[in-house]
Chains A and B, each alone.
Chain A
């Protein structure tokens, strides 16, 4: 668990899923938000992963996850 803030729903508590290495050194880390399931690589351009730079059109409201429809209901 990290204090890293999710670029999409602004929740904290992202988990680290993987680290990419090049010649033994970590070159990027893949993180995942347990609240909204957004996954990202910390080397991506800011407009995709930084909550301050990211388009609000693609934000997820962490306080209203019920709004997202469930597919394949009986």
Chain B
């Protein structure tokens, strides 16, 4: 398929993307009967073992949910991400990283508005006797989760103190636990946009209405999880990064939502109320604790005819969560670092949402990489997440862990590290000293430069570059061809 870039730009919905994935051998339909627990989880976990090539799986025969469809693993492999970006299967992670990094700030957003009556998401509407369990084929994602979770919801909201400001609308992915037929809790932290908005609404006593979008344009699912500035619109950002138009409409409670999503749940914050939430098997691969979280009351549900409920398996990696957000965690850090330090050549923050990051840099002088590392800690994502940083030279590909290990083995002195004690930490990091506070580690695995008295060793220089990359691919293709 040589029209992949055009086809990727023409995607406007989850359905479009599933069709593209299916045409490319990257989506399958699971029509054998399957129990919600543990069947769905088992199949999702088995699929996510193949980080490079796992297909999306659409279930259409879940016991007790006749006629309902569930999709998992839509962003569950690098091949699926490649197709979303208009690149062929087999594109390397490094190539995908530069594909995204190259789009940064490059394009104009193309936003169009569709009247509500013409928006597919409003084809069916429920305003009374709402039972989320009637609409969503939910299942327990990990066996000790506290309930049934919606794990891949893009939640849209307006700033409760500036509701007319388009840019201050927030779209973010938050975990939602269903709490009875028409309520759910939402987990967030004060530093996230939603956390700020909930606290502002409760402080001022003003309503906070939200729209929970499920089964979305696959670009939004990626970019709603990307840390961008508070006043930047995630819709504009997603459109610009996709180089494609995004169609919006209004939810019944007045929020801009994607016109082509499968399902939207409209809800209102119950000011000051908290309900027990959790545990939930989170991205570090461990369960969060039980906490009292804000609760929302559902006021209406809109959905397309025969909607597809899209969910995610998340837990101990590798999982869809890692491919969903990995590159889009890395690219903003890269772009932000290069504003100060153009010597930065790549950023790999794929691991556990960037709890470990590997940054390659052209070292200006001895110790320079540490300066870059400290700047990384002050990027929006770095403030909370970049716990372990490994700094490597520009001749090391941070996406090739064999090369990173070589740098650690040959260019690291045991005392050439920095430990920054008692720094902010994501509360669900299980290694934190106390939740929300922990230590940071910077390992300088770059080579020695003046004024360091130890010079660089005389390196072997094996052939590298496009020719070698092409040969690697050819060898792989010949190997696959030998099997068929």
Query: Which A residues have a C-beta under 8 Å from some C-beta of B?
Result: 8, 15, 17-18, 20-23, 27-28, 30, 32, 36-41, 43-45, 47-48, 55, 57-58, 60, 65, 68-72, 74
A18 to B179, CA, bound (A): 12
A45 to B148, CA, bound (A): 15
Please name 27 pairs of A and B residues whose Cβ atoms are closer than 8 Å in the assembled complex, sorted by A. A15-B180, A17-B131, A18-B131, A18-B133, A18-B181, A20-B63, A20-B64, A20-B65, A22-B64, A28-B36, A30-B148, A37-B147, A37-B275, A37-B277, A40-B140, A44-B140, A48-B37, A55-B144, A58-B287, A60-B276, A68-B289, A70-B274, A71-B291, A71-B292, A71-B293, A71-B294, A72-B195
Q: Which stretch in B19-27, B155-163, B186-194 binds the other chain?
A: B186-194
Using a Cβ–Cβ cut-off of 8 Å, how many residues does chain B contribute to the interface with A? 43
State which residues 130-145 of B face A: CB under 8 Å: 131, 133-134, 140, 143-144
CB-defined contacts of A22 to chain B, threshold 8 Å: 63-64, 66
CB-defined contacts of A69 to chain B, threshold 8 Å: 289, 291-292
- Say yes or no: A74-B276 contact (C-beta < 8 A), given A32-B180, A41-B140: no
Interface centre among B188, B195, B292, B294 (most CB of A within 10 A): B292
A69 to B427, CA, bound (A): 12
Task: Verify A17–B180 contact, CB threshold 8 A.
Answer: yes
Task: Verify B37–A68 contact, CB threshold 8 A.
Answer: no
Task: Verify A17–B133 contact, CB threshold 8 A.
Answer: yes
- Say yes or no: A72-B275 contact (C-beta < 8 A), given A20-B64, A37-B147, A48-B140: no
Task: Verify A37–B65 contact, CB threshold 8 A.
Answer: no
- Say yes or no: A41-B199 contact (C-beta < 8 A), given A18-B133, A60-B276: no
- Say yes or no: A71-B131 contact (C-beta < 8 A), given A39-B148, A48-B143: no
Q: How far is the CB of B222 from chain A (nearest CB, A)?
A: 26
Q: How far is the CB of A72 from chain B (nearest CB, A)?
A: 5
Flag whether B203 is at the interface (Cβ < 8 A): yes
- The 9 A-B residue pairs with the shortest CB-CB distance, nearest first, are A20-B64, A18-B133, A39-B147, A70-B292, A37-B276, A58-B144, A44-B37, A27-B64, A48-B143
Interface centre among B131, B180, B190 (most CB of A within 10 A): B180
Q: How far is the CB of B477 from chain A (nearest CB, A)?
A: 43
Flag whether B88 is at the interface (Cβ < 8 A): no
CB-defined contacts of B140 to chain A, threshold 8 Å: 40-41, 44, 48
- Say yes or no: A72-B198 contact (C-beta < 8 A), given A22-B63, A48-B140, A55-B144: yes
Select B291's contact among A28, A43, A58, A68, beta carbons within 8 Å. Answer: A68
B182: nearest residue on chain A (CB-CB)? Answer: A17
Task: Verify B190–A43 contact, CB threshold 8 A.
Answer: no
Q: How far is the CB of B155 from chain A (nearest CB, A)?
A: 15
Flag whether B290 is at the interface (Cβ < 8 A): yes
CB-defined contacts of A68 to chain B, threshold 8 Å: 276, 289-292
**Could you tell me the dominant secondary structure of chain A's interface residues?**
mixed
Flag whether B38 is at the interface (Cβ < 8 A): yes
- Say yes or no: A38-B146 contact (C-beta < 8 A), given A21-B66, A71-B187: yes
Contact code string B261-300 (vs A, CB < 8 Å = 1, else 0): 0000000000000111101000000010111111000000
Task: Verify A37–B146 contact, CB threshold 8 A.
Answer: yes
State which residues 446-462 of B face A: CB under 8 Å: none
Task: Verify B294–A72 contact, CB threshold 8 A.
Answer: yes
State which residues 390-443 of B face A: CB under 8 Å: none
- Say yes or no: A72-B180 contact (C-beta < 8 A), given A17-B131, A41-B140: no
CB-defined contacts of B190 to chain A, threshold 8 Å: 72
- Say yes or no: A58-B279 contact (C-beta < 8 A), given A32-B180, A70-B292, A71-B291: yes
A32 to B134, CA, bound (A): 16
Flag whether B178 is at the interface (Cβ < 8 A): yes
Flag whether B475 is at the interface (Cβ < 8 A): no
A17 to B202, CA, bound (A): 29
Task: Verify A60–B290 contact, CB threshold 8 A.
Answer: yes
CB-defined contacts of A55 to chain B, threshold 8 Å: 144
CB-defined contacts of B147 to chain A, threshold 8 Å: 32, 37-40
CB-defined contacts of A17 to chain B, threshold 8 Å: 131, 133, 180-181
A47: nearest residue on chain B (CB-CB)? Answer: B143
Interface centre among A21, A36, A39, A43 (most CB of B within 10 A): A39
Q: How far is the CB of A59 from chain B (nearest CB, A)?
A: 10
Task: Verify B199–A71 contact, CB threshold 8 A.
Answer: no
A23 to B63, CA, bound (A): 10
Task: Verify A71–B274 contact, CB threshold 8 A.
Answer: yes
A38 to B280, CA, bound (A): 12
Task: Verify A41–B37 contact, CB threshold 8 A.
Answer: yes
Task: Verify B179–A27 contact, CB threshold 8 A.
Answer: no
A39 to B144, CA, bound (A): 11
A57 to B279, CA, bound (A): 11
Task: Verify A21–B64 contact, CB threshold 8 A.
Answer: yes
CB-defined contacts of A70 to chain B, threshold 8 Å: 274, 291-292
